[in-house]
Structure 1
Amino acid sequence: MSPDPLALYIHWPFCVSKCPYCDFNSHVRDAVDQARWRDALLADLSHEAVLTPGRRIGSIFFGGGTPSLMPPATVAALIEAADRHWGLAPDCEITLEANPSSVEAARFADVAAAGVNRVSLGLQSLDDAALGFLGRAHSVAEGLGALETAQAAFARVSFDLIYALPGQSLVGWEGELARALGFGTGHLSLYQLTIEPGTRFATLAAKGELTIPDADAAADLFETTRAMTAAAGLPAYEISNHARPGEESRHNLTYWRYRDYVGVGPGAHGRRGGHATFRRKKPENWLSAVDRNGHGIEAEDALVPQEQAIEALLMGLRLREGVDLSRIEAFGALPVDAPRVDRLVREGLLARDGNRLRATDTGMPVLEAMLREIVAA
């Protein structure tokens, strides 16, 4: 039997500005040597191809940063190189994250011609005041214009919204989400605002200048989100992701189902053949490493079976489908506290069907707390 297809992640680290909530590996630079960056990404990709012979690529994801700032010719060169090195599956999903500015939207036709067949737009809000609070450079009108352009250029379109903002009411979010569902995309990523360490929002929160909704209010928002998306035909298939059946992100499902993926570019992670890879985060350090070594890897560590089992459990329980415990057990001992799992099943927070374990609708809002409880020490 042939191995599962690989997923390929390509990281473009540059943004026009740094959003105050963002803890991703993104950087602002006055100028970018595009030819040098294209050549370095191609070299990093080639290194991974040598180490994963006999595999095909099932999905490619251009993430960031803001990969819609990449020249379409660079996007095309990377897709062509992936096809040359590995071969692309006939139904290969190729996603590019994009900011919804008019400048970047003007490139969508060229990006589609380069081979991208799915775009993920960072709309983040349908309220101009909220966009200002989130540090976004686009307006609602500009974002919706970019969405219309994207829907004309790509077969599949997703967009992100952030909710549970300071002062956001349940009624206000219901109205915003209803509007979002009316645009007809097949996929939505809906994230509650979290305060990440090292961000400007974390600094404001530490000073008492920023307060997000409490746990009860956040739970109400979460439950309303799941009910409304399900009623609209886009049920949650992962804790924060909603899609029409068949329009789930195949690339992200590779992560959550704990399959192999390779990552190239600054700060990119990978998991292949029982090894975890991590590339240098700072763009200049990554470039120097590629020049010196032919790749940007900073660390490559063998994953011990127990570590793989725990990671597979933690990732898989984010999914509505849950996890196959027999597959996790194949890594070694099952890393769960069985009596605690049984108790959570009795309480209706987990459900077990044969070897499959999943979080229920009641349990999903408290998933992180449950994971801390059931993972065996």
Structure 2
Amino acid sequence: MPSALPEGDAAPLDGALPASVREGAEARNFGVYVHVPYCRVRCGYCDFNTYTASELGGTRRDEYADQVEWELTFGAGVMRAAGLPERPVSTVFFGGGTPTLLPASDLTAMLARIRTEWGLAPGAEVTTEANPDSVDEAYLRELAAAGFTRVSFGMQSAVPHVLRTLDRTHEPERVPQVVAWARAAGLQVSVDLIYGTPGESLADWERSIDAALACEPDHISAYALIIEAGTKLAAQIKRGEVAEPDEDLHAEMYELADARFTAAGLGWYEISNWSRSPETRSRHNLSYWTGEDWWAAGPGAHSHIGGVRWWNVKHPGAYASRVNAGESPAQARETLTAEARREERVLLETRIADGLPASVLGAEERRVIPQLIADGLIDGRAAIGGTVVPTLRGRLLADTVVHQLLGS
């Protein structure tokens, strides 16, 4: 089942934001995330806020786009009332779940509402996630015609037994076909991979790497499988039906992926992401790591504006009830202190190739930098230039880098 939402302060039903969100807003980009919580089947490893048809409790998919459009209009009003500057949307991301289980006309209608309420910045990045078996050539052409610029396919693996363990429903041969259709429609293409599935060997992982690179994508994401409590896979491991992930094998898989992606001309820019060029990085993904502003619409979606973070009610039924009553769907929120925002910046920007400016660190924290260089965890040349950038070893030990910098 989906993981529980965090606790927080009560969120006002009118969505009102404090005056503090205006501070420095002109310098921050603004993006929109739309969560589409629908899946055909629940993958055994997934604890995202997603629902199959039997879990919707009477809510209807064909009403969902209208509900999100209401929240987008509501959000634009909340931001105007807070006195935030007019900022066109620089990035849009439809995630899930499987957004492409909805008709293409629903996705294009939600994008049109974003354009109406805020406008799209010149060169705006507009992405949707998609399962390889959830789109066809005509669907992708319709998205491109409406202004989508990228599609991120959930490939996960090219090995049938790994896909079965993950409960993925597509055939491996489907991936190059949908990539070709997306390219023909004029869309940039990303493929998502997962490594470390129980029973997956290093040879299996190399086969998936080869298959992904053969598609010549603009971007690849590769995530280590995390066993989340409450998932089917966690229960299988507890019962001894499948083996627990091997952390040493995870590290070997990451090193292999980084070497192969780099050799193929894809450079890392965030620990789990590689792109063909700076222009094909996921700017929406980077906005999360660099503290930009975004409004997130849909059940369970998490927003962030100027140090205020809030999250919507979790179930599609609860979300529909709030929207139909004309109330904010936010369940709770938190307002970060200046120190909490600084510490989050250390946590997040030490994950990216652009690095963390050492000026963000206090004097005591900066004294740790020589030891991190000596331990091979951060790049010495970058550090001399005033930026903390993880090495390959530092990426594998990212938590260690943060703990040493913050003294925790």
User: Do both share a fold (TM > 0.5)?
Assistant: yes
- Alpha-carbon deviation of 1:224? 1.1
- 1:370 aligned onto 2:401: yes
Residues of 2 paired with 1:196 and 1:104: CA distance?
Answer: 32
- 1:221 aligned onto 2:249: no
Segment drifting more, 72-81 vs 88-97: 72-81
Moved over 4 A (4+): 102-106
Residue among 330, 337, 345 paired with 1:304: 337
The equivalences for 1:283-294 within 5 A come to: 283-294=316-327
Match of 1:27 in 2: 51
Structure 1 residues not aligned, in runs of 5+: none
Change (3 A) 1:221 1:29: same
Change (3 A) 1:32 1:147: farther
Match of 2:303 in 1: 270
Residues of 2 paired with 1:368 and 1:340: CA distance?
Answer: 15
- Alpha-carbon deviation of 1:272? 0.4
Segment drifting more, 231-240 vs 364-373: 364-373
Residues of 1 paired with 2:220 and 2:336: CA distance?
Answer: 33
Residues of 2 paired with 1:300 and 1:55: CA distance?
Answer: 23
Residue among 316, 339, 357 paired with 2:349: 316
Residues of 2 paired with 1:275 and 1:325: CA distance?
Answer: 25
Change (3 A) 1:300 1:102: closer
Q: Is the 8 A contact 1:66 1:98 kept in 2?
A: yes
Residue among 72, 83, 104 paired with 2:115: 83
Residues of 2 paired with 1:336 and 1:257: CA distance?
Answer: 23
Match of 1:187 in 2: 219
Segment drifting more, 159-168 vs 301-310: 159-168
Residue among 62, 68, 71 paired with 1:41: 68
Segment drifting more, 115-124 vs 47-56: 47-56
Residues of 1 paired with 2:358 and 2:326: CA distance?
Answer: 40
For residues 74-120 of structure 1, the C-alpha deviation after alignment (integer angstroms, 9 at most, x for no partner) is 21222121112111101000000001116556522222222211100
Change (3 A) 1:321 1:133: same
Change (3 A) 1:70 1:335: farther
Residues of 2 paired with 1:240 and 1:78: CA distance?
Answer: 29
Give 1:158's aligned amino acid: S
- Alpha-carbon deviation of 1:310? 1.5
Alignment length (residue pairs): 372
Change (3 A) 1:125 1:283: same
- 1:58 aligned onto 2:82: no
Match of 1:358 in 2: 389
Instruction: Tell me the secondary structure at the aligned position of residue 311 of structure 2.
Output: strand
Give the root-mean-square deviation of aligned CA atoms.
2.1
Change (3 A) 1:32 1:336: farther
Residues of 2 paired with 1:309 and 1:335: CA distance?
Answer: 14
Segment drifting more, 226-235 vs 178-187: 178-187
Match of 2:13 in 1: none
Residues of 1 paired with 2:27 and 2:78: CA distance?
Answer: 14
Instruction: Tell me the secondary structure at the aligned position of residue 188 of structure 1.
Output: strand
- Alpha-carbon deviation of 1:204? 1.6
Residues of 1 paired with 2:203 and 2:67: CA distance?
Answer: 49
Q: Is the 8 A contact 1:306 1:335 kept in 2?
A: no
Change (3 A) 1:301 1:135: same
Residue among 371, 377, 380 paired with 1:349: 377
For residues 216-265 of structure 1, the C-alpha deviation after alignment (integer angstroms, 9 at most, x for no partner) is 22211111111111111002111111111121001101111111111111
- 1:161 aligned onto 2:189: no
Q: Is the 8 A contact 1:102 1:146 kept in 2?
A: no
Residues of 1 paired with 2:207 and 2:143: CA distance?
Answer: 33
Give 2:374's aligned amino acid: R
Q: Is the 8 A contact 1:119 1:158 kept in 2?
A: yes
Q: Is the 8 A contact 2:131 2:154 kept in 1?
A: yes
Give 1:48's aligned amino acid: G
Q: Is the 8 A contact 1:102 1:142 kept in 2?
A: no
Residues of 2 paired with 1:165 and 1:146: CA distance?
Answer: 24
Change (3 A) 1:90 1:135: same
Q: Give the number of the structure with larger relative contact order, counting CA–CA contacts within 8 Å between residues 6 or more apart.
A: 2
Q: Is the 8 A contact 2:92 2:125 kept in 1?
A: yes
Segment drifting more, 18-27 vs 112-121: 112-121
Segment drifting more, 31-40 vs 358-367: 31-40
